[in-house]
């Protein structure tokens, strides 16, 4: 991927007129309705052991618009409705690929209110953004400038639970260029305690951006655990904490920035016992409850749980890079492990 083709989303707050707010609220409702009807149709087909794809649901949408009951779908821009069907297709693709649970219906009260517009559904001219079906441009608070000469490809409008309106503008960012290659590598343990110490909301997101940017700038290779949050959330005691910790958001940021700057992210199998393995002698502990933050191995080495896990992840990642397979770290001398430990501790956010 060349630097000229790197896309970034720029999010801004905006203040709609009463007419714009009413139009967007109608659009949100129609998006939810179309998504749910398409999901219902695909679910019924699934019970018959049939598969319905995006093209089929798109044809259904055309038919729905011609009925008296659903004629109101014609009153809003058709693009967000088509995009809702595309998002449903992605959800099913992830389900069939065993990367996500079966898609769920959108709730009027609980689901995120949003509508995605592609180039045919908006006009961006002279720094002003006007959506389809609207006469006036949005009153956007341009908290930061878009890249010079930016040409948006997708615009997503949303409203949060507090009633605030946001617009996310996706466009090429020519300012992103690969960083010079470096031999540095780091193991990153997504320690629950560490992520839970971060602030919530926009402040936490800003903190995650700073951490991931620093890690990507300083290291050529970044080794992380391939944590499947959807499986871990089955543990009720961890569910809320895991959600708050935003592991998936951290990994997503890290992988996107690594792609931008020509870095490599290696995901080590989540069953790799990074926390229970002594990084000094390689001995494997039988148990390691989450409340144990420091522990001492029979060899005499005392470990910080997260730092030890990061050391093991780094060694595993290097083994993957060198051998192309296997995630068990090579045992090395205490001196070598000590040097590695210093490297990880120094780079730990």
Task: Check residue 340 and give its pLDDT.
Answer: 37
SS3 39: helix
What span, in angstroms and rounded, lies between the C-alpha atoms of 102 and 99?
10
- Give me the catalytic one of 189, 206, 264, 304: 189
- Give me the catalytic one of 116, 172, 225, 348: 225
* Closest among 24, 19, 249, 38 to 135, alpha carbons compared: 19
Cα torsion 247, 250, 254, 255: sign: positive
Active site residue 306: yes
Give strand ranges (E) for the chain: 7-14, 113-118, 122-125, 128-131, 140-141, 154-159, 165-172, 185-188, 221-226, 264-269, 294-296, 302-304
What span, in angstroms and rounded, lies between the C-alpha atoms of 209 and 347?
16
Give domain limits for the chain. Answer: 3-172, 185-347
Residue linked to tokens 């615009």: 155
- Give me the catalytic one of 23, 116, 173, 306: 306
How do the pLDDT tens digits run along the chain, 349 residues long?
444 467 788 999 999 999 999 999 999 999 999 999 999 999 999 889 888 899 999 999 999 999 999 999 999 999 999 999 999 999 999 888 887 889 999 998 888 899 999 999 999 998 899 999 999 999 999 998 888 888 899 999 999 989 999 999 998 877 777 677 776 766 666 655 555 444 445 766 777 888 888 888 888 887 877 665 445 445 555 555 555 456 677 788 888 888 888 788 877 766 677 778 888 888 888 887 877 888 888 888 888 877 888 777 777 766 655 544 443 333 333 333 333 333 333 333 3
Active site residue 269: no
Neighbouring CB atoms inside 10 A of 279's CB total 28
Q: In the structure encoding, which two tokens stand for residue 187, read together?
A: 């193991």
Q: What are phi and psi of 199, to 5 degrees?
A: -70, 170
What span, in angstroms and rounded, lies between the C-alpha atoms of 190 and 196?
10
Task: Check residue 197 and give its pLDDT.
Answer: 45
**Is residue 13 a contact partner of residue 139, using CB atoms and an 8 Å limit?**
no
């Amino acid at each position: 991927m060349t630097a000229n083709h790197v896309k970034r989303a720029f999010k801004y707050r905006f203040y709609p007129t009463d007419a714009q707010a009413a139009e967007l609220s109608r659009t949100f409702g129609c998006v939810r309705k179309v998504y749910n009807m398409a999901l219902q149709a695909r679910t019924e087909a699934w019970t018959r052991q049939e598969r319905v794809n995006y093209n089929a649901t798109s044809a259904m949408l055309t038919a729905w618009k011609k009925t008296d009951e659903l004629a109101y779908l014609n009153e809003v821009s058709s693009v967000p409705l088509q995009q809702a069907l595309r998002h449903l297709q992605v959800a099913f693709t992830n389900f069939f690929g065993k990367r996500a649970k079966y898609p769920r219906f959108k709730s009027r009260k609980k689901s995120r209110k949003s509508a995605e517009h592609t180039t045919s559904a908006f006009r961006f001219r002279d720094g002003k953004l006007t959506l389809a079906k609207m006469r006036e441009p949005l009153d956007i608070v341009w908290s930061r400038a878009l890249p010079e000469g930016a040409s948006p490809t997708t615009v997503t409008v949303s409203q949060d639970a507090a009633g605030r309106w946001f617009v996310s503008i996706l466009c090429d960012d020519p300012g992103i260029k690969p960083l010079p290659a470096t031999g540095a590598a780091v193991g990153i343990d997504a320690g629950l305690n560490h992520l839970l110490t971060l602030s919530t909301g926009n402040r936490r997101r800003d903190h995650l951006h700073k951490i991931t940017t620093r890690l990507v700038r300083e290291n050529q290779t970044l080794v992380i655990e391939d944590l499947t949050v959807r499986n871990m959330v089955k543990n009720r005691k961890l569910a809320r904490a895991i959600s708050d910790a935003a592991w998936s958001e951290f990994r997503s940021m890290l992988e996107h920035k690594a792609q931008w700057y020509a870095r490599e992210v290696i995901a080590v199998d989540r069953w790799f016992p990074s926390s229970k393995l002594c990084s000094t002698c390689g001995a494997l502990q039988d148990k390691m409850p989450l409340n144990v933050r420091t522990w001492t191995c029979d060899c005499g080495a005392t470990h910080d749980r997260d730092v030890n896990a990061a050391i093991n992840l780094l060694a595993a990642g290097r083994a993957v890079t060198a051998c192309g397979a296997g995630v068990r770290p090579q045992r090395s001398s205490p001196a070598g492990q000590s040097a590695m430990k210093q490297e990880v501790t120094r780079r730990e956010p």
